[in-house]
Every structure is written in structure tokens, then in C-alpha cells.
Chains A and B, each alone.
Chain A
Amino acid sequence: MTELRTDISYAPPGEAEFSDYIALLKPRVMSLVVFTALTGLLVAPGSLHPVEALAAIIFIALGAGASGALNMWWDADIDRVMARTARRPIPAGKVAPDEAMALGLALSGIAVVMLWLATNALAAGLLAFTIFFYAVVYSMWLKRATPQNIVIGGAAGAFPPMIGWGAVTGSVSLEACLMFGLIFMWTPPHFWALALFMKSDYHKARVPMLTVTHGRAATRAHILVYTLALVPVALLAAFTSIGGPVYLAAALVMNAWFVQGAWAIWRRDEAQAEADSYATEKRVFRFSLSYLFVLFAALLVEAALAHLPAYATLAAYLPVMELF
């Protein structure tokens, strides 16, 4: 009789640790999602039970992580070529592509259903759309098709504060749209600054980044234009119910700084950039991370200060757009 045995002593060359499955969920992106979704949730009028709020944040982050796993599954061929992504779990041979896809799909379903149960159908629907947008519209379609991939795909990263807002209010308002717009307009200059000093990677992977298709001078001009377009969106939020003097001051300083950085990038040519190893581009990329953090933190400060009567008196001098 033939003995049926499974050889469980065989260890694949790079067997996945628990941390590899965590890495599939892009924890750094998740941390940004947690922060912006939490801001949307805390600045929204109304409140959730603390456990419901915790569950909402966990499942929004899980949904973002699930879309990250689906992105890594689909983009494994690109990740293998690019130095920045070659050590991700799939190209490193630690997690099988099918396993990543299954994890992404399962976690997507869990996140959406649980967010619905914890909060409401609107928040769950927005989360489902975000996952679809990032995994299908951005990863499968736009990323390899158009140099505008970052511009349109940036919407996926912009939804979390709107989902947080929707989880509390059950609706979407101008404030939620402005928080969306802030991240949406911030994404292109942030990624194009990165693309300027990572050009060879995108070129090797045949990803039609603006730097590859239109050249570096055009990319520098695009960074400046999008940074200028970001300014009114960021300032407008100061005059809505979520803004106030603290946010306005932060927005003025951070936008002046960002525009100055974008201007400096635009003024430089490749020879200058190569001479100092893209110091300005790297500085603006790092700064852009602080930009988003500071502005969302300022919104949180406004929400905390709104309970102080003295601050409410001061804020009353700022014209709020009651129209909306």
C-alpha cells in the first residue's frame, strides 16, 4: 500500500513570518490612514461610543491594509524590478502571490462588513469604494496606463478622513470634501518629488511616471502648479466649522513653506540637482510629510479648543461659511 505523506519538514527558502503578513498591509500607509481617519472622526459634529470609534478606526485601517495587499499582489512584477520595493514579501519570495490576494480579499470583506456593523452603511460604502479605487482603478488600470496615475489614484488615499466623518455623521459635507481635497491635491507634488530622485527605478519598471513620459523639467513645473493649487483648498478649510485661527496660522506657514520648496524645485535643472544629490527634492519630499501631519494635527487642536469659551470668542472673529 502506498503511504500518503506530506513532507512538513520542507522549509521554503524564505518562509513568511507574521511580520511579513503585516508588511503586506503597508503599515506606514496605514499609520497615515489611521491619523487622517481619526481626525475626520474627531472633528465631525456628533460623537460615537469610544468602542465604536475604536472599531471604526481599526476597520478603516484594515481596509486600507487590505487594498495594500491587493496592490502588492498585482504589482509584484514591478516591485521585483524596483530597488525601493524589491524586499517586499512577494518579490522576496516569502509570501506567495495567491496568498497575498486571498488575504487582501478576505480582509477587505471583513473590514467593510465590520465597519457597517460598527457605524453605518455610508462609511462602509465609502471604504468599499476606496478599496476598489486603490486596487482596481489605480493599481490595475491607471498606474501602468497614464502619467496622471498619481493624480487620480491619489483619491484612494484621500478618502479616510471622509470615511471617519461619515462614520460619525452618516453624511458627507463640505468639511469632509475639503479634508479629502487636502490629501488629494497634496499627493501629486509629494510623489513627484519622490519620483525626481527615484527616476531610474520607475524607468526600469516601465511605470509611466511623469518623469519618464514628460521629462524632469515638466515634472518640476507640475510640482509647482499642483502645490499652488493646493493652497486655496488648504486655506478654505480654515473658514469652515472645522477650521479656526490655529488652523489658519498653521495653513499659512505650511503652505508658504511648501510653495517656497516647490518654487526651488522648479528653478533647478538636472545638473544642479545631480550636483547636490537631489538635496532640494529630498527636503521637499520630507517636508511634504510634515505638511499633512501638521495641518491635520491643527484640525485636531481646533476640535479640542472648540470647547473652551475664551477660544470660541476669538474664533468668532473668523468668518465661518455658514452658507455650507
Chain B
Amino acid sequence: MADASLGLWTVPLAVFGGAIRVSTPFLFVSLGECITERSGRINLGLEGTLVMGAMSAYGISYLSGSPWLGVLAAGITGALFGALHAGICSLPRVNDIAVGIALMLLGTGLAFFLGKPLIEPTAARLPAIDFGWWSDIPQLRAALRINVLFLIGVAIAPLLYWAFRTTRWGLLIRTAGESADAARAMGHSVLLIRLRATMVGGFLAGIGGSFLSLFYPGSWNEGLSSGQGITAVALVIFARWDPMLCLWASLAFGGAAALGPALQSVGITSGYHLFNAAPYILTLAIMIITCSPKRTLTGAPAELSITR
């Protein structure tokens, strides 16, 4: 019935559904990275954190039967990785970008190692809320089956925007990111602020990982994340360290990432891999357009090594 009549309309619909489904990990990682980078440090290791989060969420959900415990475990794992990153970076003369690369490799390796026995079993998955009950078009209903984590992520973005502007914590993080000397002069430990900011960032990235293994695609395997973490880090740069822009950028990315599978579902299979690379090409293109060698980016925390 509707299936046939929709025809090519399935593509934008699937992209729309994908924007919501696929964007959730991007959203969590970019919001987490936004907090970390605002405090003046860049954590490239969130790619590894994402995979670790996915694995630990799946494992805990499988063992305990509760997917929400899995989400919590993923967050805690992420926070521990964040603490490791911040701990090493607080040593003198240690480069935060290099530590991020190391943790990217370590997180991926550790997740594959510990996750080996988890490829076979099926864990309890996160439930979805059916927002499409009013419609009888199956594709639309599928697109509107929305996970609670997505809603939480959407809620965190304005909350973070508000917190950066008005709360004491937001001000402290921004001070540490703009001028470590000023924060020190005010009597605050910059290392401690950054430790906390990196741990919170890792927590959110871990939760982003739990979405991958517990909702969409909803299983654990070694090809689960291919660069979503690093794409999300790049996304923070052109979202100009603004949590609300991170939200819109994540949605755009989710849509781009859903393009390949959407086209495949209507029978356009040639160039499938190229369409799958759409988010990376989009990231690169947007970075080329928005960056400039002559000035530092507006909104960039002054202490950030990547913008100096």
C-alpha cells in the first residue's frame, strides 16, 4: 500500500529518520567534547571512548538485563577514560593531541579485546518511544520511533548553553579555557577544572557509545564505530564551541550519514560506500569553508592547542 505509493519519498523520510537516529552519538560526543574544549583542552580520544562505551554498555546490559545500567556503565567508563586523559595531560610537557591519539588506539583495542565474547550474545536493548502512532505510513512510523537518549541529548544542549553563560561552573570552565593565568589568579586549579571537564566530556561520549550498541545499529561488533567520534570532535570546531550549534550540526550529520542506507533501500546501490563517506566529506568541506589561516576562529577558547 503506502509502501509502493511513497516511491522516492522514502529517501527524504529515511534521511529524516536517520537524522534523528544516527545523530545521537554525534550529539553526545560533540556536547562532551564541547565541555572539554571550552576548558582549554582537546580530547581526540573520544573515538576510543565511544567504542569503549558501546562495548561496556552492551556487556553490562547483557549481564544485568537492564539496558539503563548499561548506559550508566558506558558513562562511567567514559569518565574514567576522560580522567586518564586529563591525568596524563596534567604532566608537564605532554601534548594533549598526542595523548588523544594514544587513547583512541587504547580504547579501540581494549574494547575489541574485552568485547570478543560479546559478539555472539544478544543484550537487552533500549526501548523507543513511538511518536508516529497517529500515522499509518510505516516509514514515517519507523522514522518517528525515537529513543529517550536522543531526547536527553536534545535537552542537554540548551542546558549547557545556559550553564556556560550563567552558572559559576560555566564561568570557571570558560575562564580556564580563555586564560589559565586568570583562573589561577582567581585561586582555582586549572588542572582540576580541566580534569572535571574532561571527565564529564568522557561521560557523555561513553553514553553516545551506549546508543550505538543498545539502540542503533543495536548490536556489538568491531565495525560499530568508524570515525563517528573523530567526526564529532571536528564538528565542535565548526559549531564554534556553541552547544546549540552542536545540536544542529549533529542533526545535519545524522542526515548525511543516513543518506547511503536510505538510497540503498530504494535500490540505488552503486556508490554505496561513497555515500557512507558523506559525513567525513561533509566535515572536511565545512572545515575548509569555515576555517581561515589568517585569523583564529571566533568563539575558540584561547588556550586550545588546536587553534593556536
Task: Check if A and B associate.
Answer: no
